[in-house]
């Protein structure tokens, strides 16, 4: 029985009369992912069989996607508090304190999500709606959206006709089409290519917002909200995105991709652009009139999920009339109106005296009905004191359940096996032929220039960009007009390490994301994570997830930075049921007190000392060169005391005014970092190079490569001086000479074939 065919929305779905086997078959036929035990729990909580609408409401609300039922208890291990935290992971986005300007405290809103399964099925639309959704998460905190970022994990794209290449192109085009149109700069991101993503791409998205801390709008009905209006704003509800929440909680082979195309939402960045600007106007009006309201993005579970959560998190119930919802088609079934995931919609909880003005701003001043078919803002219900969730449709009550059962926590205690730590033998370092290897490393798909990809993104709209994407390890903005305050954003998460050791990869993701922010002269103030893992019902795959959470928690505690927002994406598997490489993707936000002191990575002058600050452990595990040579090697161990010292030394060098340039040592090792610093100088018309002498220039143990003007000004205990900059565009490595122009050509080429 398809819900689209079932017109009688109040029709009950028989649970109590059926035996387990029949019930399971009926549930599958109805297209819901709820298990038999969950269906029986729902019937017990309602005291009767659920209606069709209730069935689909619980299916969305209790999906892994909404409820985090198999992951939430592990996420409590993450540190979420600290002096920079304004709002931890409780609402649609987290908020960290950036600084003060002109008597105001400013917060940076950050959200991080995945859109993996939709992007695998329909790459352009899946990725575009990923950007669309993350932008709403930030907007609904009352913030101006100031940047997006896109950590991407693609399969092997070398073959011209491969599906993986088709996906890799479609995703980038979708992100570009959406982000460029709404006018939010793409500030950061990374991309890795790995066979483990051939069947299941990872599309993570991050968005930043700017908000005055006393003007934050929360995603719950405020105190005293009983009787207030529930106002739905945006695109007309249509059948797209029906079942999206449960779709993303299935593995892709279970979810036949043709059958699931309808579960993917349709992006409308044009409407979003207008919605954002209209919402900014509403924020200003509410501030001026000192009105407190609730505002929330519609995501998984559609109108039902959003209205139920905004009401219940304020301690209320809600009653909505689905006939008041602006729809794109007549005769949409109640279940589709209630839980369909049509894009570009938001929901306000407003005191009745504010409603008319809000409707006027959206509908008349910003003319929503003229922007997209039947788009508008409309009152669809009200907040109730009684803690029930009630939906009416065509004169019938089609849903009436205790709201806390609907939105309350569901938990699956699934068994897992502890992930085995990687302990290879053979600590012997191979002799490395630098002359042969450097060109291969620079042309490696994980090292080669990303410019062919990100030049399709608008990185400078809004006019606030200080360091656009690709210019440094982190992107930097000056988000507040007239202020010297800057915000830095970087992402990290290396699947080569993830495929070897989930915990080590998670730790390294935290380390590298924070280093990238430190390298541009910022102080890390907050982290987000997106945990992209396999099937939690497979004990080894859940074990990898748990190990990664522990790795994130350990690294964040050691570095004293909190996680303020995050997301979990499970069921990322190949067709054969192998999990994708463990991918704890981390984003780090940094604060810069004076944008004039931002550090850039291009070499600045000849004759400067080059210092490698930080860990230099000679371990090649997980490195590009280990992959090129086909060797198994130990992973670098992390010394957190050394890591903290290194960050402090980089900061001291900057404050002493002797830090000329800086890059982190990551993919491709210290020699790659050096080559890129020469490329960065070349891009600005400075023909510079360097001479270095170092035995293992491809090790990816971390740390910073710094050009300083005066090493004497620093305490260099434990710091290695590996070389000196040259007045000619050449790299001389242990006596072997490379021309910077030739290396640049090698590094620039590979991805331009995929992204011409």
Partner 1 sequence: MSAPRIAVLVFPGTNSEDETVRLLRACGGDAHLVHWSRADTLAAYDAYVLPGGFAYEDRIRAGAIAAHDRMVDDVITGCERGKLILGICNGAQVLLEAGLVPGTGPARRPTAAFTHNAPQAHYLCAHVYVKLVIEPHRSPITAELPPGAVVPAYAAHGEGRLAADPAHLREIADGGHVAFVYVDADGTPVRAPNGSALDAAALVNREGNVLAIMPHPERDAWNYQHLDRGGRTDPLACSGGAALFASFVAAVARS
Q: Is residue 274 within the footprint of partner 1 (CB under 8 A)?
A: yes
Q: Which residue has the tokens 């023909």?
A: 687
The single residue of 56, 112, 115, 218 carrying the catalytic annotation is 115
Applying CB under 8 A, which of residues 285, 597, 711, 716 lies at the interface with partner 1? 597
Residue 522 C-alpha from the chain's centroid = 20
Q: Is residue 482 within the footprint of partner 1 (CB under 8 A)?
A: yes
Antiparallel, parallel or unpaired: β 317-321 and 388-393? parallel
Single out the segment in contact with partner 1 by CB under 8 A; choices: 49-57, 176-184, 568-576, 638-646: 176-184
Cite the DSSP H helix spans in 322-411: 334-339, 352-360, 368-371, 403-407
Applying CB under 8 A, which of residues 594, 632, 655, 693 lies at the interface with partner 1? 594
> 497-528: string of b/e by CB count within 10 Å (b at 16+)?
bbbbbbbbbbbbbbbbbbbbbbbbbbbbbbbb
Applying CB under 8 A, which of residues 162, 273, 313, 748 lies at the interface with partner 1? 273
Q: Is residue 182 within the footprint of partner 1 (CB under 8 A)?
A: yes
Q: Is residue 279 within the footprint of partner 1 (CB under 8 A)?
A: no
Q: How far apart are CA 615 and CA 97, in angstroms?
A: 30
Q: How far apart are CA 268 and CA 286, in angstroms?
A: 26
Single out the segment in contact with partner 1 by CB under 8 A; choices: 37-45, 109-117, 358-366, 583-591: 358-366
Give least dist CB 155 to partner 1, A: 22
Q: Is residue 462 within the footprint of partner 1 (CB under 8 A)?
A: yes
The yes-or-no answer on residue 194 being catalytic is no
Give least dist CB 284 to partner 1, A: 13
Evaluate whether 715 touches 408 at the Cβ level (below 8 Å). no
Q: Which residues are paired to 108 by β-bridges? A: 96, 210
Q: By C-beta, is 29 or 460 nearer to partner 1?
A: 460
715 burial level (CB within 10 Å; 0-12, 13-18, 19+): exposed
Within 10 angstroms of residue 232's Cβ, the number of other Cβ atoms is 24
Q: Is residue 600 within the footprint of partner 1 (CB under 8 A)?
A: yes
> Residue 176: which of 215, 116, 131, 109 has the closest Cα?
131
Give least dist CB 178 to partner 1, A: 11
Give least dist CB 142 to partner 1, A: 17
Evaluate whether 731 touches 627 at the Cβ level (below 8 Å). no
Q: Is residue 360 within the footprint of partner 1 (CB under 8 A)?
A: no
Q: Is residue 595 within the footprint of partner 1 (CB under 8 A)?
A: yes
The single residue of 56, 65, 97, 744 carrying the catalytic annotation is 65
Applying CB under 8 A, which of residues 40, 105, 212, 456 lies at the interface with partner 1? 456
Q: Is residue 455 within the footprint of partner 1 (CB under 8 A)?
A: yes
Q: Which residues are paired to 208 by β-bridges? A: 110, 147
Give least dist CB 186 to partner 1, A: 9
Name the 3-class secondary structure at 125.
helix
Q: Is residue 270 within the footprint of partner 1 (CB under 8 A)?
A: yes
Q: Is residue 409 within the footprint of partner 1 (CB under 8 A)?
A: no
Give least dist CB 376 to partner 1, A: 14
Q: Which residue has the tokens 């693609």?
A: 154
Applying CB under 8 A, which of residues 7, 158, 324, 365 lies at the interface with partner 1? 365
Applying CB under 8 A, which of residues 286, 478, 511, 674 lies at the interface with partner 1? 478
Single out the segment in contact with partner 1 by CB under 8 A; choices: 233-241, 382-390, 465-473, 581-589: 465-473
Single out the segment in contact with partner 1 by CB under 8 A; choices: 69-77, 114-122, 478-486, 623-631: 478-486
Q: How far apart are CA 312 and CA 752, in angstroms?
A: 50
Q: By C-beta, is 643 or 707 nearer to partner 1?
A: 707
Query: With the C-alpha atoms ordered 140, 142, 144, 150, is the resulting torsion angle positive or negative?
Result: negative
Q: By C-beta, is 458 or 512 nearer to partner 1?
A: 458
Applying CB under 8 A, which of residues 11, 101, 173, 691 lies at the interface with partner 1? 173
Q: Is residue 160 within the footprint of partner 1 (CB under 8 A)?
A: no
Single out the segment in contact with partner 1 by CB under 8 A; choices: 50-58, 180-188, 496-504, 638-646: 180-188
Q: Tokens standing for 321? A: 């009339």
Q: Tokens standing for 419? A: 């992930």
Single out the segment in contact with partner 1 by CB under 8 A; choices: 65-73, 125-133, 479-487, 529-537: 479-487
**Helical packing angle, 502-519 and 539-559, nearest 10°:** 30
Evaluate whether 534 touches 60 at the Cβ level (below 8 Å). no
The yes-or-no answer on residue 115 being catalytic is yes
Q: Is residue 139 within the footprint of partner 1 (CB under 8 A)?
A: no
Q: How far apart are CA 672 and CA 443, in angstroms?
A: 11
Q: How far apart are CA 252 and CA 255, in angstroms?
A: 5
Give least dist CB 66 to partner 1, A: 32
Applying CB under 8 A, which of residues 176, 293, 448, 564 lies at the interface with partner 1? 176
Within 10 angstroms of residue 484's Cβ, the number of other Cβ atoms is 14
Q: By C-beta, is 41 or 686 nearer to partner 1?
A: 686
Q: Is residue 655 within the footprint of partner 1 (CB under 8 A)?
A: no
Q: Is residue 685 within the footprint of partner 1 (CB under 8 A)?
A: yes
Q: Tokens standing for 125? A: 């639309």
Q: Is residue 457 within the footprint of partner 1 (CB under 8 A)?
A: yes
Q: Tokens standing for 226? A: 């009983």
Q: Which residue has the tokens 């139920």?
A: 308
Q: Is residue 753 within the footprint of partner 1 (CB under 8 A)?
A: no
> Residue 50: which of 40, 60, 37 has the closest Cα?
40
Q: How far apart are CA 96 and CA 366, in angstroms?
A: 31
List of residues contacting partner 1 (CB under 8 A): 173, 176, 180-183, 269-270, 273-274, 277, 364-367, 370-371, 454-467, 478, 481-482, 484, 594-598, 600, 602, 684-685, 756
Tell me the catalytic residues. Answer: 65, 115
């Amino acid at each position: 029985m398809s819900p689209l065919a079932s017109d009688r929305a109040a029709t009950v779905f028989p649970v109590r009369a059926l035996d387990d086997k029949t019930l399971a078959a009926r549930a599958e036929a109805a297209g819901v992912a709820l298990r038999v035990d969950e269906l029986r729990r729902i019937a017990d909580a309602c005291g009767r069989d659920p209606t069709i609408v209730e069935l689909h409401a619980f299916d969305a609300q209790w999906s892994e996607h909404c409820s985090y039922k198999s992951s939430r208890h592990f996420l409590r291990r993450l540190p979420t508090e600290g002096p920079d935290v304004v709002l931890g992971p409780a609402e649609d986005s987290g908020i960290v304190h950036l600084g003060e300007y002109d008597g105001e405290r400013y917060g940076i809103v950050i959200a991080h999500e995945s859109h993996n399964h939709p992007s695998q099925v329909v790459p352009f639309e899946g990725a575009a709606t990923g950007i669309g959704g993350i932008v709403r998460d930030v907007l609904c905190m009352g913030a101006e959206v100031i940047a997006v970022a896109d950590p991407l994990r693609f399969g092997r794209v070398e073959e011209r006709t491969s599906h993986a290449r088709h996906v890799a192109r479609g995703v980038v085009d979708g992100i570009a089409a959406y982000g460029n149109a709404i006018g939010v700069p793409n500030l950061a991101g990374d991309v890795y290519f790995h066979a483990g993503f051939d069947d299941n791409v990872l599309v993570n998205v991050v968005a930043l917002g700017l908000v005055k801390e006393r003007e934050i709008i929360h995603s719950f009905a405020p105190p005293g909200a009983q009787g207030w209006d529930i106002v739905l704003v945006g695109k007309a509800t249509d059948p797209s995105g029906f079942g999206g929440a449960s779709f993303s909680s299935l593995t892709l082979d279970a979810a036949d991709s043709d059958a699931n195309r309808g579960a993917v939402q349709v992006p409308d960045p044009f409407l979003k652009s207008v919605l954002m600007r209209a919402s900014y106007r509403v924020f200003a009006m509410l501030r001026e009139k000192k009105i407190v309201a609730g505002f929330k993005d519609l995501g998984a579970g559609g109108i039902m999920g959003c209205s139920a959560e905004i009401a219940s998190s304020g301690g209320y119930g809600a009653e909505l009339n689905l006939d008041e919802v602006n729809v794109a088609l007549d005769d949409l079934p109640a279940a589709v109106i209630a839980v369909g995931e049509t894009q570009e919609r938001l929901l306000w909880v407003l005191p009745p005296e504010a409603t008319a003005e809000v409707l006027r701003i959206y509908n008349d001043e910003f003319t929503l009905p003229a922007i997209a078919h039947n788009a508008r803002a409309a009152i669809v219900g009200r907040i109730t004191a009684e803690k029930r969730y009630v939906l009416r449709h065509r004169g019938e009550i089609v849903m009436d359940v205790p709201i806390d059962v609907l939105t309350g926590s569901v938990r699956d205690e699934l068994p897992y096996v502890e992930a085995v730590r990687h302990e290879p033998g053979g600590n012997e370092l191979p002799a490395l032929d630098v002359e042969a290897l450097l060109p291969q490393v620079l042309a490696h798909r994980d090292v080669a220039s990303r410019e062919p990809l990100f030049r399709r993104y608008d990185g400078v709209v809004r006019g606030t960009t200080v360091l656009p994407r690709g210019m440094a390890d982190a992107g930097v903005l000056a988000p507040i007009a007239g202020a010297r305050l800057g915000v830095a954003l970087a992402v990290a998460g290396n699947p080569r390490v993830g495929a070897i050791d989930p915990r080590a990869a998670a730790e390294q993701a935290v380390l590298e994301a924070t280093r990238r922010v430190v390298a541009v002269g910022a102080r890390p103030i907050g982290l987000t994570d997106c945990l992209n893992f396999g099937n939690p019902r497979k004990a080894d795959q859940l074990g990898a997830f748990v190990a990664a959470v522990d790795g994130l928690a350990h690294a964040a505690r050691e570095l004293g930075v909190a996680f303020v927002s995050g997301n979990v994406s499970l069921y990322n598997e190949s067709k054969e049921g192998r999990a994708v490489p463990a991918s704890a993707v981390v984003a780090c936000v940094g604060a810069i007190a004076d944008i004039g002191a931002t550090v850039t990575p291009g070499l600045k002058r000849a004759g400067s000392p080059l210092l490698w600050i930080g860990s230099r452990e000679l371990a090649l595990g997980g490195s590009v060169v280990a992959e090129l040579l086909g060797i198994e090697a130990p992973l670098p161990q992390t010394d957190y005391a050394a890591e903290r010292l290194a960050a402090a030394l980089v900061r001291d060098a900057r404050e002493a005014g002797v830090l000329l340039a800086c890059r982190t040592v990551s993919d491709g090792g210290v020699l790659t970092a050096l080559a890129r610093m020469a490329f960065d100088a070349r891009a600005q018309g400075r023909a510079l190079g360097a001479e270095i002498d170092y035995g293992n220039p491809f090790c990816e143990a971390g740390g910073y490569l710094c050009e300083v003007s005066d090493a004497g000004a620093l305490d260099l205990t434990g710091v290695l001086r590996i070389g000196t900059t040259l007045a000619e565009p050449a790299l001389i490595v242990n006596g072997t000479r490379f021309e910077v122009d030739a290396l640049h050509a090698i590094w620039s080429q590979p991805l331009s074939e995929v992204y011409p």
